[in-house]
Amino acid sequence: MRRIVITGLGVVSPIGCGRDDYWDALAEGRSGVDSISLFDTEGHSAKIAAEVKNFNVEPWLDKKEARKTDRVIHFVIPAADMAVKDAGLALAGEDLTRVGVYIGSGEGGITTTHENYGILREKGPSRVSPFFIPMMLSNMPAAYTAMRFGAQGPNMAVVTACSTATHCMGEAMHAIRRGDADVMIVGGVEAAITPVAIAGFANMKALSTRNGDPARASRPFDAERDGFVMGEGAGILIFEELERAKLRGAHIYAEVTGYANTCDAYHITAPSPEGEGTVRAINRALEMAGWNADQVDLYNAHGTSTPLNDKTESGAIRRVFGDYADTLPVQSTKSMIGHCLGAAGAVEAIAAIMAIERGLIHPTINYEHPDRECPVNVSAKAMERRVDRAVINNAGFGGHNGVLAIERFSG
């Protein structure tokens, strides 16, 4: 069985861009949630989000190219560049048919869609951008990334709502194991803080309306949680076949040892009762990794800050880990960066990988009022601790569950 290691990390997030800035903000417990600045929120019930602010894409894309691309491309290309450079990949001299890209986006170019629909209504069909279709397609982050590096191997954009990035990473692991590729550029990207997306999520009562206190709005597992906060950004990782990574002397952050993909087949938005789909996914990922439940050192939760999700996920954790759930650290990265939808699994996996790398579990901020319906050990404060094995869980509308198991590389 070919082994897969992680050799590069790149991130664009509401609290920092680049691996180190992102991690420093997480470790310090900084919130990226604030009042929405991307559009006028008059009439909206939810007026807050975790935006990527003051980000200049011009070092990566010139002005002409930036005008022809959606905000998702503005995030994914810098994150991919960071990951490739972090991995020390000299792709120009490689067999690029052995380099693949699996990057997904739950909403795709929704900013472009929103803008061009307005143009259609106000100015007519002839004024719709000729770049509209390629700008809005969900596969374009994967396509642009492949073109950026000349990657001619397997290329796919998994789209499973908030499980998107986790499924991209898991399927990339399988691609390398099968021998389809030696290197995979993987992850997710999202840029969905738009009037229509905010209104849609708010009208289904999914978003927090704690508009007067943005930094404290995302509060996973807390008894006073009232919904998730929309986030945006990109997380890109380099997955590489172990012997290849060792041969070139790459720094190895961690090894990917387990993955599972299940479906609730229950409801378009609500998770299945008692979290049966999540339970099966966690157990299957642990089985693939060869771990016992009590060997897990960190559980990076989906932890959205919605009443139902956190309650259901907590029940799933208790069912899988039993009494060990009393001491297993549970963290939610979303407490600081909001819910990055299709990018969530990747930016959260990077947080878990950095916990292994740095020996620190970042805090879940705003956890102030324990909820009896969420009987899990939430890491409310930063905690120095050796982390050898971590589980990352994500769930998407439609009942899509994805779990990744990563561990310290032991050689």
Residues known to be catalytic: 162, 302, 339
In contact, 135 and 105? CB cutoff 8 Å: no
The secondary structure of the chain, three-state, reads CCCEEEEEEEEEECCEECHHHHHHHHHHCCCCCEECCCCCCCCCCCCEEECCCCCCCCCCCCHHHHHCCCHHHHHHHHHHHHHHHHHCCCHHHCCHHHEEEEEECCCCCHHHHHHHHHHHHHHCHHHCCCCHHHHHCCCHHHHHHHHHHCCCCCEECCCCHHHHHHHHHHHHHHHHHHCCCCEEEEEEEECCCCHHHHHHHHHCCCECCCCCCHHHCCCCCECCCCCECEECEEEEEEEEEHHHHHHCCCCCCEEEEEEEEEECCCCCCCCCHHHHHHHHHHHHHHHHHCCCHHHCCEEECCCCCCHHHHHHHHHHHHHHHHHHHHCCCEECCHHHHCECHHHHHHHHHHHHHHHHHHCEECCCCCCCCECCCCCCCECCCCEECCCCEEEEEEEECCCEEEEEEEECCCC
In contact, 395 and 163? CB cutoff 8 Å: yes
